[in-house]
Chain A
């Protein structure tokens, strides 16, 4: 079975971004970029399914600026067989909406015909948590979001999901879309030989304009502001002092 894994190039999770002084957005110049952590988990899951003999081919796809090729090289080093970059523009501060991303991915699905798409649950830049669900809707496929376990058996996918109150298991007809949560797996460390080998793997480039997808934005960012900053408070020396502060000063207990 062929698996498609959409991977997004995002600000590294260790970076604390700053809002531009003119309020037009966040400053992405000279900031470390990485693969969205949930997409690393997605790719790892696909690789594990191939190691179990279930997946036959893994195709990583990214939509974004030319630099997203670096993200795809990482995906190839992690174990993807092929990669596709859909070049959406050159402006690193421009982000396509999940609605547009879903439409583009649906085009890629139409040509690649995977039986399973494994995406991340959420991109840690826009924090939208929408693309996988939207793609599934567009394709008319079932969806298994926030997965902490995936098992393929007899033409269906058994997906255990992290929900409020605990876990839920559902069975999806294939083809289907799965989105990953943090507990699905722990992505492996990529060793140097794999990085070298990845350089020889195929990376195809498509121009967004050639796909004939409507990517006009539905949302306009009016402004971006810094959140209210908290001031560090005081250090307390003892439990008694803490309790007295909480009772008498803060009035919270």
Chain B
């Protein structure tokens, strides 16, 4: 068996926690080679080499990879695939964009959001917004999959493994980066934070949503949101927790003014402890909450933030 893990780096910074969790998920398959891509990623490659379970790091340092465009990345993965039986990445917007494309180039079927590796051919993944867990066997010579990292703890330090620069295939030139409008926040990352505080439509406005971030800051927590809160512009798109957003599994998830639609539950019901604050005592969120507080969030939130 030979495993390649696609790492993610932005502006030369490795997403170390994501990689460490992905390595932990694929550990049953043996040690892995790690592919680091980017425009200026030598430092990121050195960082990846220091993680346990890494045999070597392949560094593709080329401007065509600076913005995660799918076409050059998929072409690169295809050029390397012959050496591997498994190609994996943590499930993020970056990997969900490129891996299915790479899989098609290899005439393989991609497996999205794997939650467990049973054996070299057999994987578990949720379907129907997490209302069923499928065990699927892949007949492809190269198995290509993304991993839901929230359920795996990161590997520790190891190595350092050797870093090799690799040559890259020509950019297919089908797309061109124009701009990123991203915010780097000092807050803990949503998918790996120990505590997540999420707000929903009940917050009523972007201004009121600051009460969620204030509580999160007090707890050193990440901030999440329901789709309704994102659609209404209270919170940025990448805070959306749920079936079609981020999947989280913190020790503590606090849902405020969120009704608990199936699509939202799909993203947070594997949290260890769930707290729900909602004025409607019949809200479905209470069916999954360990602790439910029925009442007006505008009365409860300030008191909670103050007393913590």
Instruction: Determine, out of B47-55, B170-178, B201-209, the stretch whose residues face the partner at the interface.
Output: B170-178
Q: Does B298 contact A (CB under 8 A)?
A: no
CB-CB contacts of A220-237 with B at 8 A, as 1s and 0s?
111111110010111110
Name the interface size band of chain A. Answer: 35 or more
Instruction: Pick from A49-57, A63-71, A95-103, A202-210 the stretch touching chain B.
Output: A95-103
Extra contacts besides A163-B68, A172-B176, A232-B286 (16): CB < 8 Å: A99-B104, A127-B113, A133-B99, A133-B104, A143-B174, A145-B96, A163-B238, A167-B237, A172-B174, A182-B230, A183-B230, A218-B108, A218-B109, A234-B291, A250-B273, A250-B290
Q: Are A235 and B174 in contact (CB under 8 A)?
A: no
Inter-chain contact A246/B133, CB cutoff 8 Å: no
- From B96, B182, B184, B303, A167 is in contact (CB under 8 Å) with B182
Q: Are A168 and B96 in contact (CB under 8 A)?
A: no
Is residue A122 contacting chain B, with contact meaning CB distance below 8 A?
Answer: yes
Contact assessment for A234 and B177 in the assembled complex, using a CB-CB cutoff below 8 Å? no
Q: Determine if B176 and A242 form an interchain contact, defined as CB atoms under 8 angstroms apart.
A: no
Interface check B150, CB cutoff 8 A: no
Report the minimal beta-carbon distance from B37 to chain A, rounded to whole angstroms. Answer: 15
Asked if A84 is at the interface of the complex by the 8 Å CB criterion, the answer is: no
Note all chain B residues with C-beta closer than 8 A to A217: 139
B166 beta carbon closer than 8 Å to chain A: no
Residues of chain B touching chain A, judged by Cβ–Cβ distance below 8 Å, are 10, 67-71, 74, 92-94, 96-105, 107-113, 122, 126-140, 172-184, 194-195, 219, 227, 230-231, 236-238, 243-244, 251-252, 262-263, 269, 272-275, 281, 286-294, 300, 303-304, 307-308
CB proximity of A177 to chain B, nearest CB, Å: 10
CA distance A222 to B291 in the complex (A): 37
Task: Report the stretch among A9-17, A85-93, A109-117, A193-201 that lies at the interface.
Answer: A9-17
Q: Which residues of A contact B294 (CB under 8 A)?
A: 235
Distance in Å from the Cβ of A69 to the closest Cβ of chain B?
A: 23
**Contact at B307–A239, with CB atoms within 8 Å?**
yes
| A223 and B127 alpha carbons, distance in the complex (Å) | 12
Known contacts A99-B104, A134-B101, A168-B179; A19 and B113 CB within 8 A of each other: no
Map CB proximity to B onto A162-202 as digits: 1 under 8 Å, 0 otherwise. Answer: 11111111111100100001110000000000000000000
What residues of A have a CB within 8 angstroms of the CB of B136 in the complex? 219-222
Name 29 interchain pairs, CB-CB below 8 A, sorted by A. Answer: A17-B132, A26-B128, A98-B109, A127-B127, A133-B100, A134-B104, A137-B102, A137-B105, A164-B94, A165-B182, A167-B180, A168-B180, A170-B67, A170-B69, A182-B231, A182-B244, A217-B139, A221-B136, A223-B134, A224-B127, A226-B131, A226-B132, A227-B130, A227-B131, A233-B290, A233-B291, A234-B292, A252-B194, A252-B273
Contact yes or no, B175 A171, CB < 8 A: yes
Q: Are B183 and A130 in contact (CB under 8 A)?
A: no
- Contacts A17-B132, A99-B104, A219-B137; is A128 near B112 (CB within 8 Å)? yes
* Contact across chains for B92 and A164 when beta carbons are under 8 A apart: yes
B126 CB, nearest partner CB in chain A, Å? 7
CA distance A234 to B287 in the complex (A): 10
Decide: A122 near B93, CB < 8 A? Known: A137-B101, A143-B101, A242-B293: no
Tell me, in angstroms, the Cα distance from A161 to B69 when the chains sit together: 11
A146: nearest residue on chain B (CB-CB)?
B93
Q: Which residues of A contact B94 (CB under 8 A)?
A: 163-164
User: Inside 8 A of B195's CB, which chain A residues have their CB?
Assistant: 252-253
Contacts of A8 in B (CB 8 A): none
Which B residues lie within 8 Å of A126 (CB)? 127
- Chain A residues whose C-beta falls within 8 Å of the C-beta of B269 in the assembled complex: 227, 230
* B111-A219 in contact (CB<8A): yes
Given that A133-B70, A137-B104, A148-B237 are known contacts, is A162 also in contact with B93, CB under 8 Å in the complex? yes
User: Given A26-B131, A232-B286, A242-B291, are A227 and B175 also a contact pair (CB < 8 Å)?
Assistant: no
Give a binary string over A10-35; 1 marks a CB under 8 Å from any B CB, 0 the rest: 01011011110000011000000000
- Tell me whether B69 and A225 are in contact (CB under 8 A): no
What CA separation (Å) do A245 and B67 show in the bound complex? Answer: 45
Whether A233 pairs with B289 at a CB distance below 8 angstroms is yes
Selected contact of B181 from candidates A167, A183, A253, CB within 8 Å: A167
In the docked arrangement, what's the CA distance between A145 and B173, Å?
17
Do residues B127 and A125 form an inter-chain contact, with CB atoms below 8 A?
Answer: yes
A129-149 near B? 1/0 per residue, CB < 8 Å: 111011111101111111010
Q: How far is the CB of B137 from chain A (nearest CB, A)?
A: 5
Known contacts A162-B237, A222-B135, A235-B292: does B100 contact A171 (CB below 8 Å)? no
Indicate whether A243 reaches chain B with its CB closer than 8 angstroms.
Answer: yes
Contact between A183 and B139 (Cβ–Cβ < 8 Å)? no
Residue of A at shortest CB range from B125? A127
Cα separation A130 to B154 with both chains bound (whole Å): 27
Contact (Cβ within 8 A) B275 A242: yes
Instruction: Please determine whether A170 and B134 come into contact, CB atoms closer than 8 angstroms.
Output: no
Q: How far is the CB of A216 from chain B (nearest CB, A)?
A: 9
A158 at the binding interface (Cβ < 8 Å): yes
Question: B101 near A227 (CB under 8 angstroms)?
Answer: no
Bound Cα distance A218, B144 (Å): 12
